[in-house]
Amino acid sequence: MGSLLNKDDDPENFPLLLSGSMSDGQSAAKEVADDGLSYEYDIIYISKIEISDENGIEYVAEAPGYIRIFYDNNSYESHLPTGSLNNQTFIDGYQLKQQIHSIMKEQNLRSISSSSTSIDKANIFFQFSDPNPPIDCNILEKIELFRQNITNEQQQIGRRNIEQFSLYILDVFDKETKYFLCKLSKELFHIDLSNQHINKYHTKIKQLIHLYKTLYLSLAGIPMPSNLTHKLRLILNFYEQYRHLVDENALESQFEIFEMYNKRILTEDCDIVIGIKLKFWPQIIQTRMNYLKYNKSHIYNKIKNATVYAIPKWSKSTDSEAAPYEFRLSFSVFESILARSRYDIEKKLNNIARRIYYRYIKKQDSSCGSGEGTNNIEECISSYVVKTCVLWMCEMYDLKNDYKNVNDEQEISRDLFKRFINFFRERLETKLCQHYFIEQINLLSSYNSSTITRSLDALNNIDVKHHLKTNYKPYIPKRDFIHFTSNIVEEFHELELNHFDVQCPFYIPEKYNSYLKRLYRLFLLIIERNDRNWWIHLSTILFNKSTENQSDIIDLSNINIQEIIDCLVTFVNNVQRRWPIIKYLIFENDSMKEFVIEKRHMFVKYGIKFCEQFIYDDTLGYLKQNCFSETLQTNIKHSKQIDYPYDEYNRPIQCSITLKKSEQTEKEEELSILIPIDVLFDEFWNGNFPYLVDHVLVLSTAGYLITKFIFATDKYYQESNPVRSKFMPCLRIIKLIRSILEIRRRATLYSSVE
C-alpha cells in the first residue's frame, strides 16, 4: 500500500470542495419547497491540471466567460482526452466528464434513481434513492457471533483504533469548542459566554467523548468500567420494570407517524463538477476586479487570493463540433468566501432570498437548474440568478447600518423580504441581471418571456405575512403512549438522587419529570421499534461483564441520566444502521491506519477546514428550533454576559408544562415550574452536546474513509487506471455528505420526542 501524501503535503491542497448552499450556510433552504426532496449538495473535484497563464487558454469569442484549454504534452498527463479544432489540440472536457460518470456508476454501492451528464451541463448528476440507512433487524445476532469469535489480536487492534478516533475527536473539540460555543451564544442570545461556562462545557464534552469511546470498545469485547455498567443497568432495569404499561396501539400509531416523516425524504441529489485551476485571473474579469479594488476594497480584500476554475460545459453559442472543448469560468470559491464573511443581516437576506426561490420560483417548474448563465433558452430561472442578486444587494446597500437601530426580528425579516422581492422583480421586468464578475454577461438573456412572466407572477402572488409565519420544521404529531403514575415519577427521581450527581430541573413532585418521558420515547421510538426484547438482548451481550480496575473507571461526575440515555441511544442507532462500516473501521489493520495515526494533527486541521462552516450553520439552525431557545432569548436579551456572579441569572423564570390528567381522558392541565436562568442555560447546552459529539464522530469516520482512499490507493491501481484512481475520491465524498445529511435527519427526529 503506497501513500500519495508526502511529509510536506498540506491538507489545504485536498482536492475536494463543498460548494453551493451547503458551503454558504443555506443547506436547509430547499426544505421549504415541501416537495419531498430535502437533500441536495454540490461538490467540486479539483483536478491536478493547472493552467499557468493566459497563453494556456483561448477565449470563446461567441460566449463571454467561456474558454478552451490548449493541450500541452509537456505539462499535462498523456491519458487526458483531447481533440482537434481549427488545427489546435484542446483538452476534451466532455469526454472527461463521461469517463468519470462511467467510473462512478460502476463503482457506486448505493441505489441510484438516475444519473446523467451532458455536453451542455456543467455537472455530473446523481440522484440516490437511499438517503436513510435501513435498520439491520439481525444486528444483535451478528454482534454476538462476532464477539464470540474475536481473537486477542483483533481486540488489541480494535482498542487501538477506537482510542485513535477518540483522540482525533478530542483534538477537534480542543481546537473548536471555545470558538463554536462563543459564536453560537453570540448569535443565539447576543451574549459573550464566560470562561467559566466555556471550561465547564468543554469538560462535559470530553466526558461524553470518553463515554462514547467506552461504548464502542464494548463491541470489541472489552468490558465496560463497573461504574458505567452499574448506571446502565439501573436505567435499563427501570425501563423494563414499567415497559408493560405502554399502550401498544398508541405506540404503533406513533411508529406510523415517524415512518411517514422518514418517507418524506425520498431522494438525494448530488451535483459534481470538475474544476481545472487557473493560476491567474483571466483578462475578462480584470476591469471588474480593479473596480472592486479601488472602490469596494472591503470586498476586494476578501477575495484577492481566490482561485478561478474552469468547468467543462458547452456554451451553446458555437457549433456542436466545438462543444467538447469548451469550459465555463467558475467563481464558486469567490462566492463562498463572500457568503461566509457576510454580516448576520446579510446572511439573513441570503436565507430569505433562497427560501423565496425554492418555495415560489423553483417550485413552479421542476426543470429549474443552477447554471451560471448561458445563451441557450432556459425554462426556469436559475438559483444562480438569485445568488447573484444577493451579491449585488450586499454590495449596493449598507444593510448593517440600515438596521442597526432595529431590534424587532420580525420587522427586519419583513423589510428584507420586501426589499429582495422588489430588487428581484426589477431585474425580471428589465430582463437584465449582470453577472457579478463578468460585466459582459447578462444572466437573464437566455430566458424567454413566458419564463420571466411566470416568475413575476409567482413573486406578485406571495403573501408576506403568511410566508413569515410559516414554520418550515417538519411537524411530527405526538401521542402519549404511557402514563406515569405519581409512584413512577417519584421512583425515577429517587433513582436520580441516589445514583447521579445532577437531577432533572424539569421535575414536579409526583407529576412530571422530563428525563423520564424522554427515556421511554427514545428507547421505544428510535431503538426498540418492533422488537419487544431488544434492550434485554443488548444488555446480555454488551453489559454482562465489567471491570473493577480503577484505571479503567470512567469519569461520570456531573453527568445526568439524560446524557447517558442520549449517548446510549445514539450509539445503538449507529450500530443498528452502520455495523458493517463500524466493524471495518474498528478492526481494520493496514499501513494506512499507521499513516493516519502519525498524521492525526494534520487531518484534524483538514477536517475542521472542510466541515466547520456547514457544521456551524447546521448546528445553529437546529439549536434555534430547541424548545428552550425562545425562552432564553426573551430573558437574557438585555444583558451582555451570563456569569455566575450576576444575581440576574439566579432569577427564576416560569416554564409551562402541559400534562394529561390521566390515561383515560384527553383533558389536559397546565403546570408551571420556576427555573433559574443559568440552570436553563446549562440544560439547553448539555441537552445538545451528545448529538454534537456524535456529529463529529460520524463525520470523522466518514472522513477517514475518504482520506484512506485518496492518499493510500494501491500504486498498481494508480498506474494501471490513472483516470479512475484520480476521480474515485468523489465516491467517498458522497459517503461523507450522506453522513452529514443523516445527522440532520436524525437530529430532527430526536428533537421530536421532547
- Per the prediction, the chain carries an average pLDDT of 79
Residue 563: how many CA atoms within 13 Å on its side-chain side? 32
Alpha-carbon distances of 645 from 203, 374, 651, 680, rounded to whole Å: 21, 61, 12, 16
What the block records as the C-alpha cell of 669 is 392541565
Q: What is the mean pLDDT of residues 670-699?
A: 81
683, 693: one domain: no
What the block records as the C-alpha cell of 348 is 439573513
- Of residues 428 and 520, the one with the higher pLDDT is 428
500, 525: one domain: yes
CA nearest neighbour of 291 among 443, 444, 438, 442:
438
Q: Which of 25-34, 45-54, 490-499, 655-664 has the highest mean pLDDT?
A: 490-499
Number of Cβ within 10 Å of residue 754's Cβ equals 13
Give the three-state DSSP class for 369.
coil
Question: Residue 143, Cα to own-chain centre: how many angstroms?
Answer: 29
What the block records as the C-alpha cell of 181 is 460555543
Q: What is the mean pLDDT of residues 605-626?
A: 74
Q: What is the mean pLDDT of residues 42-54?
A: 85
Q: Give the strand pairing for 641-642 and 192-193.
A: parallel
- Of residues 206 and 525, the one with the higher pLDDT is 206
The answer to whether residue 385 is domain-embedded is yes
- Of residues 275 and 635, the one with the higher pLDDT is 275
Percent of the chain with pLDDT over 70: 72
The answer to whether residue 566 is domain-embedded is yes
User: What sections of 500-628 are H helices per DSSP?
Assistant: 514-521, 534-542, 561-587, 591-598, 600-624
CA nearest neighbour of 433 among 443, 425, 424:
443
Q: What is the mean pLDDT of residues 635-660?
A: 54
Residues 506 and 512: beta-carbon distance below 8 Å? yes
277, 246: one domain: no
Distance (Å, whole) CA 54 – CA 51: 8
User: What sections of 625-751 are H helices per DSSP?
Assistant: 629-636, 677-686, 689-711, 715-720, 722-727, 729-751
How long a stretch of residues is the chain?
754
489, 558: one domain: yes
Is residue 34 scored above 60 in pLDDT?
A: no
Is residue 2 scored above 60 in pLDDT?
A: no
- Of residues 500 and 269, the one with the higher pLDDT is 500
- Of residues 729 and 56, the one with the higher pLDDT is 56
Distance (Å, whole) CA 632 – CA 627: 10
Distance (Å, whole) CA 568 – CA 215: 8
214, 239: one domain: no
Alpha-carbon distances of 590 from 64, 212, 213, 708, rounded to whole Å: 50, 24, 21, 10
Radius of gyration for the alpha carbons in the chain, expressed in angstroms and rounded: 28
Number of Cβ within 10 Å of residue 647's Cβ equals 7
Number of Cβ within 10 Å of residue 581's Cβ equals 16
| Helix 677-686 vs helix 629-636: crossing angle, to nearest 10 | 140
How many domains are contained in the chain?
5
**Long-range Cβ contacts of 469-473 (<8 Å, 24+ apart):** 470/32, 472/28, 472/31, 472/32, 472/355, 473/625, 473/748
What the block records as the C-alpha cell of 58 is 483561448
Backbone φ, ψ for residue 82 (5° rounding) = -135, 170
Four-point Cα dihedral 108, 109, 111, 116, nearest 10: 0
Distance (Å, whole) CA 542 – CA 146: 12
Note the pLDDT of residue 718: 46
Give the three-state DSSP class for 699.
helix
Q: What is the mean pLDDT of residues 134-151?
A: 88
195, 165: one domain: yes
The last residue of one of the domains, among 483, 513, 540, is 483
**Residue pLDDT, tens place only, 685-717:** 988 898 888 877 766 665 565 555 444 433 333
Is residue 28 scored above 70 in pLDDT?
A: no
Q: Give the strand pairing for 668-676 and 641-642.
A: unpaired
Distance (Å, whole) CA 570 – CA 742: 12
Is residue 313 scored above 90 in pLDDT?
A: yes
91, 228: one domain: no
The answer to whether residue 407 is domain-embedded is yes
601, 735: one domain: yes
Q: Give the strand pairing for 507-508 and 512-513.
A: antiparallel
567, 655: one domain: no
Residue 153 host element (H or E): helix 152-189
What the block records as the C-alpha cell of 627 is 424548545
Is residue 6 scored above 50 in pLDDT?
A: no
Q: Which of 75-79, 370-374, 569-573, 611-615 has the highest mean pLDDT?
A: 569-573
Number of Cβ within 10 Å of residue 261's Cβ equals 16
524, 597: one domain: no
Note the pLDDT of residue 235: 95
Distance (Å, whole) CA 379 – CA 452: 9
Residue 467 host element (H or E): helix 464-469
The answer to whether residue 282 is domain-embedded is yes
Q: Give the strand pairing for 39-51 and 268-278.
A: parallel
The answer to whether residue 143 is domain-embedded is no
Q: What is the mean pLDDT of residues 606-616?
A: 70
Note the pLDDT of residue 117: 87
Q: What is the mean pLDDT of residues 382-392?
A: 94
Distance (Å, whole) CA 495 – CA 231: 10
The last residue of one of the domains, among 436, 460, 483, is 483
Q: Longest Cα pair distance anywhere in the chain, in angstroms?
A: 89
**Residue pLDDT, tens place only, 194-231:** 888 899 999 999 999 999 999 999 998 888 999 999 99
Is residue 308 scored above 90 in pLDDT?
A: yes
**Site of grid cell 458555437:** 318
Q: Give the strand pairing for 546-547 and 224-225.
A: parallel
> What is the value of pTM for the model shown?
0.77
Is residue 36 scored above 70 in pLDDT?
A: no
* b/e map 46-83, b = 16+ CB within 10 Å: bbebebeeeebbbbbeebbbbbbbbbeeeebeeebbbb
**Site of grid cell 441510484:** 112
Residue 293: how many CA atoms within 13 Å on its side-chain side? 8
Residues 6+ apart with CB under 8 A from 217: 158, 159, 162, 224
Distance (Å, whole) CA 541 – CA 538: 5
The answer to whether residue 289 is domain-embedded is yes
Residues 6+ apart with CB under 8 A from 746: 573
Query: pLDDT class for 4, splitting at 50, 70, 90?
Result: very low
The answer to whether residue 28 is domain-embedded is no
**Site of grid cell 461567441:** 62
The last residue of one of the domains, among 433, 456, 483, is 483
Is residue 144 scored above 50 in pLDDT?
A: yes
Distance (Å, whole) CA 670 – CA 306: 57
Note the pLDDT of residue 156: 92
Full domain range(s) for residue 536: 221-264+484-587
CA nearest neighbour of 228 among 7, 547, 503:
547
The answer to whether residue 726 is domain-embedded is yes
Note the pLDDT of residue 473: 53
Q: What is the mean pLDDT of residues 719-744?
A: 52
Residues 6+ apart with CB under 8 A from 405: none
447, 567: one domain: no
Query: pLDDT class for 7, splitting at 50, 70, 90?
Result: very low
488, 427: one domain: no
Note the pLDDT of residue 263: 60
